[in-house]
């Protein structure tokens, strides 16, 4: 019992939000006349309490190395604390954008946020999937609140249902192959699968069967049994891994899943539009925890079996598709969807680079000592993860602010394609904020997105693999297309509106946009505070949670912040054995190597 209480105290933001979601659902169900008007206030109190709890955790050294709770299913670490805070901010904006008496809508939003928060804290496949499903499928309730948007909500439901089925099937295959749902265990067990596959008896059996030499029937049967037994887990694991990767990435809004995103952006009410950013954030964290931190052993990452090959193709397609959508986006909502898709491509590219760094940490020497190489790989991976979080938060903030104001001015079909035409002339403050948010989303200085993109590019380009570097170029060109698409909306903001067509965003939407613009500008001009939070959140992301693995790195980070140089090793040139986590150990060569996109070059 005391363990449960301890766990709940560590998980205070999630626990508060979970309780509040139940409370709000109960109140909404009761349909009490007196409470309807108070519903928004009640929800905001819950969000404020959860935010206070999350704020107390940000920067708290007690959770530096990651505290696992509820039997290791969930974790409380700096990454989760930071993303919790961002999600709660999005939820607060969502509630402010709702109608005061929209009890079902507000309750749905809180339930969705609680589900997404569950995913953010999950280090086990089951809560990860459960939270994501609550978030993705729960959004149908918000999308469908407007009768005109119900067909779109239905399509969203069908699309997300297919992705749910894919995700569950993939998870089932992974569990069948590895026998565990714990993310920290999956990488190591998968490495063992490949090791067994390429190990002596199985390989001898394969060689024997493929040699063409006549062999006795009994021996052939035994050889087949051994070969199949050794290969079977891999045959389950690989499709499972790729299915999970595909469903998470598609939910994140990459190419081929982008239709869902454009659909939602085209039709969603302000509340849903902001929470979609939250859903993407949770999917990103799940991708980071499972694939970047968990499945970065070379065999799981590189060609021919690893997830890097589909990732490279998916990133290229995402950047191209998103760039074209944004360039052609006559409606601001459609442009926002294109921008979000391109942003997804950037983030996935950095995730690929981060996994590549972690994969190589400690595995190859080159001209560095083994220990130096190990440290370099981890540091570069951490920098890439920090950059991913930075860009996701900065762009999420700017996109949420702009989405709120766009959605609040009404149906684009009624107002014409340039929804914000004349806003800057009619309301200079709100129009200026919208212009700033638009400029931020195209990466203009000195906004937070500019800094975040620069950090992300720097982290990614450190990886010298050709596909990654080529994709960096493609990403920059896609960003140019997004910026070109933004020009017409920027010009429309300052244009003279036709009589009777002046945009009139609600007061709440205006407030959300102005606050978002101010934060984006502040975080870009003085980025040190946010940067430290990001560094802390990403420190040791490629290692298992716990003091034995992450402790030294976090201690060194805090010493560096305090201006104290950590003591240098006595002799760095000595052939020291690197401290390599089990998840980092590369497998022996296995059959079928070769082919596919070459991404297993040393990224240094």
The residues binding another protein (CB under 8 A) are 367, 439, 442-446, 450-451, 454-455, 457-458, 461-462, 464, 469, 472-473, 476-477, 479-480, 483-484, 487-488, 490-491, 527-528, 531
Closer CB to another protein, residue 48 or residue 458?
458
Phi, psi of 376 (to 5 degrees): -60, -45
Here the tokens at position 291 are: 């694939």
For the chain, give percent helix, strand, coil, nearest 5. Answer: 75, 0, 25
Q: Which of 78, 5, 49, 27 is nearest to 534 (CA)?
A: 78
Closer CB to another protein, residue 136 or residue 442?
442
User: Least distance (Å) from another protein to the CB of residue 524?
Assistant: 9
Measure CA of the first residue to CA of the last residue in the chain; give whole Å: 50
Phi, psi of 539 (to 5 degrees): -65, 120
- Tally DSSP H helices, then E strands, for the chain: 25, 2
Closer CB to another protein, residue 237 or residue 450?
450
Q: Which of 49, 43, 39, 40 is nearest to 14 (CA)?
A: 49
Contact 183, 212 (CB under 8 A): no
The three-state secondary structure class of 182 is strand
Residues 6+ apart with CB under 8 A from 44: 92, 95, 96
Closer CB to another protein, residue 269 or residue 519?
519
Torsional class of 110: left (φ above 0), alpha (ψ -120 to 50), beta (otherwise): alpha
Q: What is the DSSP letter of 417?
A: S
Pairwise CA distance, residues 88 & 397, whole Å: 12
Pairwise CA distance, residues 352 & 311, whole Å: 7
User: Least distance (Å) from another protein to the CB of residue 122?
Assistant: 32
Helix locations, 144-179, DSSP H: 150-178
Q: How far is CA 466 from the centre of its chain?
A: 24
User: Least distance (Å) from another protein to the CB of residue 248?
Assistant: 29
Closer CB to another protein, residue 132 or residue 475?
475
Closer CB to another protein, residue 124 or residue 463?
463
User: Least distance (Å) from another protein to the CB of residue 444?
Assistant: 6
Closer CB to another protein, residue 528 or residue 571?
528
Pairwise CA distance, residues 506 & 560, whole Å: 46
Beta strands in 180-323 (DSSP E): none
Pairwise CA distance, residues 324 & 224, whole Å: 51
Closer CB to another protein, residue 15 or residue 379?
379
DSSP letters for 371-405: HHHHHHHHHHHHHHHHHHHHHHHHHHHHHHHHHHH
CA dist 553 → 325, 413, 424, 542 (Å): 42, 54, 48, 11
Here the tokens at position 483 are: 């910026």
Closer CB to another protein, residue 165 or residue 458?
458
Phi, psi of 253 (to 5 degrees): 105, 20
Name residue, tokens 């609040």: 408
Q: Around Cβ 508, how many Cβ atoms within 10 Å?
A: 19
User: Least distance (Å) from another protein to the CB of residue 485?
Assistant: 10
Closer CB to another protein, residue 58 or residue 444?
444
Q: How far is CA 506 from the centre of its chain?
A: 30
Q: Around Cβ 307, how many Cβ atoms within 10 Å?
A: 23
Q: Which of 431, 427, 411 is nearest to 419 (CA)?
A: 411
Pairwise CA distance, residues 165 & 468, whole Å: 31
Pairwise CA distance, residues 435 & 189, whole Å: 50
Contact 543, 550 (CB under 8 A): yes
């Amino acid at each position: 019992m005391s363990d449960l209480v301890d766990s709940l105290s560590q998980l205070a933001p999630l626990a508060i939000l979970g309780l509040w979601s139940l409370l709000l659902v109960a109140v909404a169900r009761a349909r009490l006349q007196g409470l309807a008007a108070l519903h928004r206030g009640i929800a905001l109190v819950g969000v404020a309490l959860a935010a206070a709890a999350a704020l107390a955790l940000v920067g708290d050294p007690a959770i530096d190395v990651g505290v696992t709770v509820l039997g290791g299913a969930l974790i409380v670490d700096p990454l989760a604390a930071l993303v919790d805070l961002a999600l709660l901010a999005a939820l607060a904006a969502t509630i402010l954008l709702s109608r005061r008496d929209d009890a079902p809508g507000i309750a749905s939003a809180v339930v969705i946020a609680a589900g997404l928060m569950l995913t953010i804290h999950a280090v086990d496949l089951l809560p990860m999937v459960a939270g994501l499903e609550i978030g993705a499928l729960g959004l149908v309730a918000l999308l469908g609140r407007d009768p005109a948007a119900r067909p779109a909500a239905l399509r969203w439901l069908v699309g997300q249902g297919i992705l749910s089925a894919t995700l569950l099937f993939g998870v089932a295959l992974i569990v069948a192959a590895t026998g565990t749902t714990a993310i920290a265990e999956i990488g190591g067990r998968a490495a063992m699968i490949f090791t067994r596959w390429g190990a002596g008896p199985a390989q001898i059996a394969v060689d024997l069967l493929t040699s063409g030499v006549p062999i006795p029937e009994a021996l052939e049967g035994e050889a087949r049994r051994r070969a199949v037994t050794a290969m079977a887990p891999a045959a389950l694991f690989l499709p499972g891994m790729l299915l999970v990767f595909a469903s998470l990435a598609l939910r994140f809004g990459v190419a081929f899943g982008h239709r869902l995103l454009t659909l939602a952006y085209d039709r969603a009410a302000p509340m849903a539009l902001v929470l979609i950013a939250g859903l993407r954030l949770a999917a990103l964290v799940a991708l980071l925890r499972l694939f970047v931190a968990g499945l970065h052993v070379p065999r799981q990452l590189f060609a021919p079996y690893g997830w890097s090959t589909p990732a490279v193709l998916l990133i290229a397609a995402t950047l191209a598709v998103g760039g074209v959508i944004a360039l052609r986006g006559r409606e601001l909502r459609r442009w926002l969807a294109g921008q979000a898709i391109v942003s997804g491509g950037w983030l996935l590219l950095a995730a690929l680079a981060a996994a590549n760094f972690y994969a190589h940490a400690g595995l190859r020497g080159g001209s560095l000592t083994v220990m130096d190489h190990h440290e370099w790989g981890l540091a570069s991976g951490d920098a890439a993860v920090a950059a991913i979080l930075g860009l996701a938060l900065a762009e999420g903030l700017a996109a949420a602010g702009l989405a709120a104001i766009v959605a609040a001015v009404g149906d684009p079909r009624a107002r014409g394609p340039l929804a914000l035409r004349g806003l800057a002339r009619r309301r200079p403050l709100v129009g200026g904020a919208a212009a700033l948010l638009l400029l931020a989303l195209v990466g203009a200085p000195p906004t937070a997105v500019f800094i975040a993109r620069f950090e992300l590019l720097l982290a990614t380009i450190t990886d010298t693999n050709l596909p990654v570097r080529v994709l960096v170029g493609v990403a920059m060109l896609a960003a140019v297309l997004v910026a070109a698409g933004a020009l017409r909306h920027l010009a429309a903001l300052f244009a003279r509106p036709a009589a009777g067509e002046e945009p009139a965003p609600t007061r709440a939407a205006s407030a959300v946009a102005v606050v978002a613009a101010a934060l984006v500008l502040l975080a870009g001009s003085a980025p040190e505070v946010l940067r430290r939070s990001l560094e802390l959140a990403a420190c040791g992301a490629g290692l298992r949670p716990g003091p034995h693995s992450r402790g030294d790195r976090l201690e060194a980070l805090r010493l560096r912040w305090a201006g104290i140089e950590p003591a240098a090793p006595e002799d760095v040139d000595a052939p020291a054995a690197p401290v390599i986590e089990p998840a980092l150990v590369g497998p022996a060569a296995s059959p079928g190597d070769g082919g596919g996109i070459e991404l297993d070059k040393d990224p240094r």
